[in-house]
Chains A and B, each alone.
Chain A
Amino acid sequence: MVGYLVVLLLVLAAAAYWIGRTRAIASVNGDVARLHSLPGQHGMFLALFAAGPALLAIVLWSMVTPGIESSIIADRFSAELSGMGVPQVEAFIRDARAMAFGGLVGFADPTKEAAAAVYKSIHTTSAWIIWAVALLLSASGFYWAYSRIAQAYRARHVVERVLRAFLITCSAVAILTTIGIVLSLIFESLRFFQQVPLYKFLFGTHWSPQSAFTGAGAEAGAVNQDIFGMVPLFAGTLLITFIAMLVAAPIGLMAAIYLSDYASKSVRAVAKPVLEILAGIPTVVYGFFAALTVAPYFRSMGESLGLNVASESALAAGVVMGIMIIPFVSSLSDDVINAVPQSLRDGSAGLGATKSETIRKVILPAALPGIVSAMLLAVSRAIGETMIVVMAAGLAANLTANPLEAVTTVTVQIVTLLVGDQEFDSAKTLAAFALGLVLFCITLTLNIVALRVVQKYREQYD
């Protein structure tokens, strides 16, 4: 229903453009040169004011109404819903909405049917309201703008100012996203830290939130604070990241060196796309590869050597993650190595150094800050990587440094805590946000440090 309204407004805008244009031309009797702004700009001006405010109102309306409607339903049926937990109420409202507008209904009962009927009538009312509001805004905007169109009217300035405001708003979306991330993580984490103290979360060595509610009887629902220690997760993350970097750093760096200084044009023409394809493969594919090919391979290899390798060993996840990061390391290192000026290479060659000596003694030291920064970015990437570890690493939190055992990581735990049926108020799900906050902070710090390393230690050669 509101979809029709949007279409109608777009049609109105097109009409307004044409009307504005015609009126502008008519106001100077066809002598367009006498207009301050082009006829098209007058048309744009009219269209903007005829449809813009109404469209904004619709966007606002569609963002706000679901919440308002839910709260009205919860309010009307407060008697029936009293005594239910938040998730049950949410499920009730979700089902009522599904029954009213079609969708997957959990199960139906008379109360829900009544709620669905109320839902429908509320929604119809609110749709009528937005129709009225939008049409009113559109008509008044059109009337106001139409009366302004005249020979000397500076329509272009208005249009360009509106456009610039739009552009600024778009760039602000990036900031809004960051603010949204930070706020949502911090708020949910604060709720978590009200139930579990920060020091127990950061320094506890036991992690098993699946058994969050151990209390019974009078203590039912009490949160066991000692099972939210994230040290094992952090250790597991570092272990897998370490293995990944062990694979990715030498291979990525050597590949970059070879491609920039040794490879012939034809080799480069093949090798570069190979690395790009490796970079373009979705992580879920790497995860599948790790879980179904690499992990069993390591396991059987370990067996033949008499070692006991877990089927979800940190080694398999780490190695595959390393493969995933190779192109990342090599493309960043490639940029850095290419940024070292040719004069340094020529100077070294002039002194009689071989190519490898030039690279090891001149280029690498000169590029070191950039390479360190590339490695830090790669570490940040590995820590935040999710799908490979979700599919190939373990679920149980082991505090171990043995790469043959199964460990779990921060990202794996976020996924396991939040996938499936969840009550949004439990310490269990809130813990995922606390983990997310930790993850965000670590990767942000690594990125900033990487940036600072380059800024601070880079040699200016030119």
Chain B
Amino acid sequence: MTDAIASFGAGRRPVSIHTDDAAKARLKGRYRAETWFKWLGAAAVALAGLFLVLLLSTIVTQAIPALRQNYLTLPIDLSAAKVDAAKLDAVNYDAIAQEALTAKFPDVTSRQDKRLLRGLISTGTGVFLRKDIAADPGMLGGTVDYAVPLDDFADLYLKGLLADVGSDEAISTSVTPSQSSGDIDLTFGDDAMLALARGHGATEGENGMLTLTSGASSLLVAFNGGTVKLTALSPGANGTAVAKGTVIEALDSTAPAASGQAFLRVIDTPEASRKISDKVIVWLDTLKSAGLIESRFNSIFFFTGASREPELAGIWGAVVGSFLTMIVTLAIAFPIGVSAAIYLEEFAPKNRLTTIIEVNINNLAAVPSIVFGLLGLAVFLNFFGLPRSAPVVGGMVLALMTLPIIIIASRASLRAVPPSIREAALGIGASKVQTVFHHVLPLAMPGIMTGTILGMAHALGETAPLLMIGMVAFIVDIPGGFTDPATILPVQIFMWADFPEAGFQQKTSAAILILLVFLVIMNAIAVILRRRFERRW
């Protein structure tokens, strides 16, 4: 066509509107828009992926520390003088363990410090000790080395989660103490310490005086077998620096430490903004350097019930509760859901009633889950008087919630079975019921199972309706039956997320990780079922 037009103009080829410069620019613009649009789409997908990575990495990095727990090995005196073998239940095991710990630090004398020191080991120590003695009476009669779990703050510090601690650095000058305990003066050979203190947030006072308040980093000087915490520094005579300090661990002697013999440790997080004091840090480091602390697999977390103490809190009670609840849900939702699907797909006449049922099921699938909780509260608890917090009620509520999902999936699966199967069965004289139950249902079963598992996975992660029926109660015991008070994994996560103790943040993440592992397993089974047994007709 261009040629035809061109032939009209004598000699000179007019430029077509499709190839002139404006058109080229337009085309360029269109292609640019195209690229933009494409990249926008890719960015949307990437963003979704980024969110997922962010979410999972946050959870996993937080969860990993909770998988291990630090134990302190103490020589515990179980001789007859302390433990009466006839009255094992009457013994205060906590006190025995605490005595063993205080014996490690003979120079801790004040009441306050002693209490702080006793707080290093978990309050559950006595219970563990009693249980282990009951299991192995051979421990009695002498002193045994026994590993006790550390308190959550101590544990978190050792995992490096509570304070930023620098490494020990040798001080390249001499350090002379005035005394070996109490509030002492330290004289440093040069004034390098002054600049260092300034750099760590010391408050400037008169005459070049520097005060290290609790809002500044902690500067600890270790020498002569002891540790001194610096509280203030000032310039001394002849370019030296004089520091005031509190002895945390008594020095062996008041001899001056030569250059390189004293070590400086900086705790960057100010004492005021962390939940562990300098003293406790020094004690823990001493215990650690003595090789008494070891990190073990956190069996407490995996195999015990809930607790208010982070280091004693376990997930097993919630796992059992979830399991019991899921059994009830499955036992109710699967038969009813599949039966309803069979009726609606295979038997139901097309009339107003079945239309209502269908619309109803679709609407139920979109009802907010919390409304099911209200239903459970009003009907199961208040009308029928079923027990609160029980897996049986939780299972029933979740079953009602999962029912529409199972029905919709089962119907899709039944519909996928070709009519020829039904016609063949009917043709050789099977009744309608026999056709469905002997031929259609078995063929649809993989799809139904897949839908059911996905529905159960959905139910496993559901929280809101169970809050309504009291599964949020604080339950220490591991539930033994369907009517025992219980809690379930997602609710446990919700409760732990609310606890203020720092240790619970890791526990929550670890519990989430366990929940996600269960969900992944269920989804993997669904995928395998689909791959293995799905048949294309």
Contact = CB atoms under 8 A, between A and B. Distances in A.
A93 to B, nearest CB: 9
Closest 8 pairs between A and B when the two form their complex, measured CB to CB: A384-B368, A258-B41, A282-B461, A184-B378, A254-B44, A356-B37, A170-B339, A167-B343
A178 B44 contact: no
Interface stretch (B7-15, B105-113, B515-523): B515-523
Contacts of A432: 374
A263 B42 CA distance: 8
29 contacts: A103-B484, A164-B343, A167-B339, A170-B340, A171-B344, A174-B340, A174-B364, A175-B356, A175-B360, A184-B374, A184-B375, A184-B378, A185-B375, A251-B47, A252-B44, A253-B44, A254-B43, A255-B48, A258-B42, A280-B457, A282-B515, A323-B51, A354-B34, A384-B371, A387-B463, A387-B464, A414-B370, A436-B370, A443-B366
B38 interface: yes
A104 interface: yes
Name which of B40, B41, B519 has the most chain A CB atoms within 10 A of its CB.
B41
Interface string B145-177: 000000000000000000000000000000000
B252 to A, nearest CB: 46
Contacts of A275: 48
B512 A288 contact: yes
Contact of B490 (A66, A277, A284, A381): A284
Interface stretch (A136-144, A212-220, A289-297): A289-297
Nearest to A177: B400
Interface in A408-455: 411, 414-415, 418-419, 424, 432-433, 436, 439-440, 443-444, 447-448
A433 B493 contact: no
Interface stretch (B77-85, B90-98, B191-199, B380-388): B380-388
A258 B340 contact: no
A288 B508 contact: yes
A391 interface: yes
A119 B468 CA distance: 28
B42 A177 contact: no
A327 B344 contact: no
B328 interface: no
Contacts of B491: 284
A14 to B, nearest CB: 18
B143 interface: no
Interface string B361-372: 111101111111
A22 B390 CA distance: 44
B494 A160 contact: no
A83 interface: no
A287 B515 CA distance: 14
Contacts of A251: 44, 47-48
A261 B370 CA distance: 37
Given A419-B468, A440-B367, 8 more contacts: A170-B340, A254-B43, A257-B41, A258-B44, A261-B41, A292-B58, A418-B468, A419-B472
Contacts of A188: 378
Contacts of A277: 52
Contact of A386 (B368, B472, B508): B368
Name which of A185, A270, A277 has the most chain B CB atoms within 10 A of its CB.
A277
A291 B58 CA distance: 12
Given A160-B433, A175-B360, A277-B52, A262 B371 contact: no
B374 A185 contact: yes
B44 to A, nearest CB: 4
Contact of A419 (B59, B431, B467): B467
A270 B432 CA distance: 44
Contact of B519 (A278, A280, A288): A280
B66 to A, nearest CB: 14
A357 B31 CA distance: 10
Interface string A388-409: 0011000000000000000000
B55 A289 contact: yes
Contacts of B292: none
Interface string A368-394: 000000000100110111110011000
Number of chain B interface residues as a range: 35 or more
A180 interface: yes
Contacts of B508: 288
Interface in A92-123: 103-104
Contact of A285 (B369, B382, B516): B516
A177 B385 CA distance: 18
B467 A171 contact: no
A439 B343 contact: no
Nearest to B508: A288
Interface string B483-519: 0110000110110011000000100110010011001
Nearest to B385: A66
B364 A171 contact: no
A168 interface: yes
A198 interface: no
B183 interface: no
A104 B486 CA distance: 11
A181 interface: yes
A252 B51 CA distance: 13
Given A278-B52, A288-B493, A440-B371, A411 B360 contact: no
A7 interface: no
B394 to A, nearest CB: 14
Contacts of A447: 362-363, 366
Contacts of B55: 281, 285-286, 289, 323
Contacts of B516: 281, 285
Interface residues of A, number: 95
Contacts of B348: 171
Contact of A411 (B335, B368, B460): B368
B463 A326 contact: no
Interface in B368-410: 368-375, 377-379, 382-387, 400, 403-404, 407
Given A170-B343, A274-B48, A419-B467, A180 B366 contact: no
A293 B386 contact: no
A291 B496 CA distance: 12
A167 B40 contact: no
A414 B44 contact: no
Contacts of A206: none
A63 B493 CA distance: 32
A356 B371 contact: no
Contacts of A274: 45, 48-49, 52
Contact of B461 (A284, A293, A381, A411): A284
Given A281-B55, A356-B33, A414-B374, A391 B497 contact: yes
A254 B41 contact: yes
A255 B368 contact: no
Contacts of B43: 254
A327 B44 CA distance: 11
Interface in A178-231: 178, 180-181, 184-185, 187-188
A244 B323 CA distance: 33
Interface string B416-446: 0000000000000001110000000000000
Contacts of B190: none
Contacts of B343: 164, 167-168, 170-171
B30 interface: yes
Contacts of A85: none
Given A163-B433, A327-B48, A181 B367 contact: yes
A433 B462 CA distance: 20
A90 to B, nearest CB: 9
Given A184-B379, A443-B366, A255 B44 contact: yes
A119 to B, nearest CB: 13
Interface string B13-54: 000000000000000001101101110111111011101101
A271 B385 contact: no
A334 B58 CA distance: 29
A178 B364 contact: yes
Contacts of A253: 44
B478 interface: no
A156 B431 contact: yes
